[in-house]
């Protein structure tokens, strides 16, 4: 339904326009009226308005201000201004706000009707264009989805005979045959997403860039998704006039540069030589391996053939020696930051030497784990506790997927390790203070709360760190220390057993005797009797 809103502060003008124009002939189904900007805004909030036919000079708020509000609110409305003054300033503002026409009053109703008719036609053309655009997008989207499904089976190696799939491609107007020459390129987003978190939108954007670059050379392209941040590109030519390797590399490098400059996407391309569709599966597997080996995040164009030759002739590059024992000693002796810096420096040397691939990265990861556990054993640090820290959960297998992630992982682990060492030292100092307090107050009953209050510690925390450091509960340690002192007093002084019990904080003699027997294996009087017998050399 095409709707026109007439806005003018003069009732006679509004009524005249409403009655004087043949609305049906102009393609308008509904006409609404308002006599000021405030009334027009209320109508906008309740109806869809396609055309605003508006006076400029109105009290309170003029037509220019009303149109500015319409644009701000995002209403898709065409505007025709009516004014009695042909002032350029008004015309300029109207044009800047997207007014489609500017009619000087008084104007014949026939002229206004023609302007409305042209505006209605423009709106209808725009609507049809939008429908065609949406339909085109839908077709393109469906085509991409179908292609993703078709080629996912080939790329995974699940299909050996490609004839059926190629026939499906031809049904989609993609001229691929068994003997077609193609380039297969794995495109990997090493870093950045270009602000396009939507996977389909990103794929569509990359396809547009590639199509524009390759079409200048008469080449056709097809892009399908492979896995996370990875796509497979097919370059082909309907008449099998495929671009050469140098041309392909040049265009891929230009594609990489455009993505970097305009979308902040850093891309690596792994390309085959010219192959037939039957070779897609084998090449896809080789490219996946090359992508996994790119743990240093290099960007550029990498060719399967170059990679094969490098492996065939062997790698003569020297691998720097990794001094594991040195780093174990560093960490065990508290030089944790220094160890971390040197390990990272070693990894960067491997990168510079060109030997850092997936296998080397895994070896470095395992070497670091060995260093970590050996150091932890020396320092009494339980490494498993470090690896269970909340900040470590984000890593998972990521630490073994790229050099950057491994370096970040090493830094985080050593940071937690150093914090654990400091905590251990702090706990050790606190334990020494606890033991000193116990020795100085051995004559008291000594309750956990009293010790905690004296040293400004939480009682539960005190029990936990004491048991961990000493290997026995605080209460057990206090009793054993008291009994050791009692034994010394029993065997070296003539003090009565009751006085000795009182001297070490026991008011209940029976309780003292039970504790002594539990620790020493005999009653206090037996200890005293044994000592007396030894002194007199009597057979007791």
The CA-based dihedral angle spanning residues 368, 369, 375, 377, taken in that order and rounded to the nearest 10 degrees: -170
Instruction: Quote the percentage of the chain above a pLDDT of 70.
Output: 86
Res 161: pLDDT: 66
Is pLDDT at 451 greater than 50 in this prediction? yes
Tally of CB atoms within 10 A around 201: 11
Q: Could you tell me which of 42, 46, 23 has the C-alpha nearest to residue 34?
A: 42
Convert 266-287 to b/e letters by CB count within 10 Å (16 or more is b).
bbbbbbbebbebeebbebbebb
Secondary structure letter of residue 416 according to DSSP: H
In this model, does residue 462 exceed pLDDT 60? Answer: yes
**Interval 81-101 mean pLDDT:** 61
pLDDT per residue as tens digits for the range 100-119: 577 787 888 988 898 899 88
Element (H, E) at 232: strand 230-236
Extract the tokens encoding 210.
Answer: 């590639």
Separation of alpha carbons 407 and 358, rounded Å:
14
CA distances from 484 to 490, 505, 515, 518 (A): 10, 13, 11, 12
Cα dihedral 258, 261, 265, 268 sign: positive
CATH superfamily entry for domain 441-536 = Homeodomain-like (1.10.10.60)
What is the rounded CA–CA span in Å between residue 322 and residue 343? 9
Q: Domain limits of the chain?
A: 3-127, 156-312, 324-424, 441-536
HSE on the CB side for 478, CA within 13 Å?
23
Class of the 156-312 domain? alpha beta
Spell out the residues 6+ positions from residue 97 whose beta carbon is closer than 8 angstroms to its own. Answer: 64, 67, 68, 71, 79
Tokens of 474: 């605080």
Spatial separation of the C-alpha atoms in residues 9 and 189, rounded to whole Å: 60
Q: At what angle are helices 459-470 and 403-440 packed, to 10 degrees?
A: 100
Distance CA 386, CA 371 (A): 14
Q: Express each pLDDT in 474-525 by its tens digit.
A: 999 999 999 999 998 888 888 999 999 999 999 899 999 999 999 999 998 8
Supply the DSSP string of 412-449, one letter for each residue. Answer: HHHHHHHHHHHHHHHHHHHHHHHHHHHHHTTTS---HH
Token pair in block for residue 69: 């509000």
**What 8-state DSSP symbol labels residue 277?**
G
DSSP secondary structure letter of residue 321: P
* Spatial separation of the C-alpha atoms in residues 221 and 225, rounded to whole Å: 13
- Note whether 297 and 403 are within 8 A (CB): yes
Peptide bond into 45 cis (omega under 30): no
DSSP string, 356-397: --HHHHHHHHHHHHHHHHHHHHHHT--HHHHHTSGGGTTTGG
CA distances for 119 relative to 13, 67, 115, 280, angstroms: 21, 16, 6, 54
pLDDT in tens, 263-277: 788 999 999 999 988
Place of tokens 């597997």: 285
pLDDT at 80 over 70: yes
Would you say 311 and 377 are in contact if contact means Cβ atoms under 8 Å apart? no
pTM over 0.95? The answer is no
- To the nearest whole number, what is the mean pLDDT of the chain? 84
Q: CB atoms < 10 A from the CB of 37, how many?
A: 20
CB atoms near residue 65 (< 10 Å): 15
| List of residues 6+ apart from 403 with CB closer than 8 A | 295, 296, 297, 347, 351, 356, 361
Q: What is the mean pLDDT of residues 120-140?
A: 66
Four-CA torsion 156, 158, 160, 162, nearest 10 degrees: -80
- The highest-level CATH class for domain 3-127 is alpha beta
* Cα(309)–Cα(293) distance, integer angstroms: 16
- Residue 106, preceding bond cis, omega within 30 degrees? yes
- What's the Cα-to-Cα distance from 188 to each of 203, 233, 357, rounded to whole Å? 12, 11, 16
Could you tell me the pLDDT band of residue 135, with boundaries at 50, 70 and 90? very low
Q: What is the Cβ-side half-sphere exposure of residue 217, based on CA atoms within 13 angstroms?
A: 20
Band (60; pLDDT cuts 50, 70, 90):
confident
- Of the candidates 318, 259, 269, the residue with the CA atom closest to the CA atom of residue 298: 269
- What whole-number distance in Å separates Cα of residue 221 and Cα of residue 214? 7
Percent of the chain with pLDDT over 90: 31
Model confidence over 298-332: pLDDT tens digits? 889 999 988 887 766 655 556 777 888 999 999 98
Q: Which is more confident, 236 or 84?
A: 236
Q: How much is the pLDDT for 97? A: 53
**What Cα–Cα distance (Å) separates residue 401 from each residue in 88, 406, 407?**
65, 8, 11
Pairing between strand 230-236 and 220-227? antiparallel
């Amino acid at each position: 339904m095409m709707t026109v809103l007439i806005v003018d502060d003069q009732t006679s003008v509004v009524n005249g326009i409403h009655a004087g124009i043949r609305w049906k002939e102009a393609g308008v189904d509904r006409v609404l009226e308002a006599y000021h900007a405030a009334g027009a805004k209320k109508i906008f909030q309740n109806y869809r308005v396609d055309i605003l036919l508006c006076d400029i000079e109105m009290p309170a708020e003029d037509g220019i201000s009303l149109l500015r509000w319409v644009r701000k609110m995002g209403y898709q409305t065409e505007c025709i201004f009516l004014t009695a003054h042909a002032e350029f300033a008004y015309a300029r503002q109207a044009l800047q706000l997207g007014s489609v026409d500017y009619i000087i009053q008084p104007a014949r109703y026939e002229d206004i009707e023609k302007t409305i008719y042209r505006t209605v036609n423009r709106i209808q053309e725009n609507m049809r264009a939008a429908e065609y655009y949406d339909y085109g997008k839908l077709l393109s989207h469906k085509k991409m989805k179908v292609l993703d499904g078709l080629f996912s089976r080939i790329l995974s190696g699940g299909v050996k005979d490609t004839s059926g799939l190629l026939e499906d491609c031809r049904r989609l107007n993609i001229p691929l045959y068994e003997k077609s020459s193609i380039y297969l390129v794995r495109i990997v987003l090493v870093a950045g997403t270009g602000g396009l978190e939507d996977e389909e939108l990103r794929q569509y954007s990359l396809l547009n860039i590639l199509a524009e670059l390759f079409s200048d050379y008469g080449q056709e392209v097809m892009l399908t998704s492979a896995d996370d941040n990875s796509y497979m590109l097919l370059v082909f030519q309907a008449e099998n006039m495929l671009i050469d390797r140098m041309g392909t590399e040049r265009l891929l490098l230009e594609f990489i540069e455009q993505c970097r400059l305009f979308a902040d996407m850093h891309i690596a391309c792994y390309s085959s030589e010219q192959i037939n569709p039957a070779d897609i599966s084998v090449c896809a597997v080789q490219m996946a391996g090359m992508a996994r080996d790119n743990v240093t995040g290099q960007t550029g164009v990498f060719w399967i053939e170059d990679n094969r030759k490098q492996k065939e002739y062997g790698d003569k590059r020297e691998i720097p020696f990794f001094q594991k024992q040195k780093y174990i000693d560093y960490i065990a002796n508290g030089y944790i930051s220094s160890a971390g810096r040197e390990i990272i420096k070693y990894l960067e040397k491997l990168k510079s030497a060109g030997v850092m691939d997936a296998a080397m990265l895994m070896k470095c990861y395992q070497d670091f784990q060995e260093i970590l556990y050996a150091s932890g054993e020396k320092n009494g640090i339980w490494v498993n506790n470090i690896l269970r820290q909340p900040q470590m959960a984000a890593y998972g297998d990521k630490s073994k997927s790229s050099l950057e992630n491994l370096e970040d992982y090493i830094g985080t682990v050593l940071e937690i390790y150093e914090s654990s060492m400091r905590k251990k030292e702090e706990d050790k100092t606190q334990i020494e203070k606890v033991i000193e307090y116990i020795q100085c107050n051995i004559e008291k009953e000594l309750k956990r709360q009293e010790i905690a209050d004296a040293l400004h510690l939480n009682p539960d925390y005190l029990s936990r760190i004491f048991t961990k450091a000493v290997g026995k509960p605080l209460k057990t340690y206090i009793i054993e220390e008291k009994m050791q002192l009692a034994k010394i007093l029993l065997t070296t002084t003539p003090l009565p057993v009751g006085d000795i019990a009182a001297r070490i904080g026991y008011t209940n003699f029976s309780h003292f005797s039970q504790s002594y027997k539990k620790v020493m294996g005999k009653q206090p009087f037996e200890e005293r009797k044994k000592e007396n017998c030894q002194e007199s050399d009597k057979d007791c």
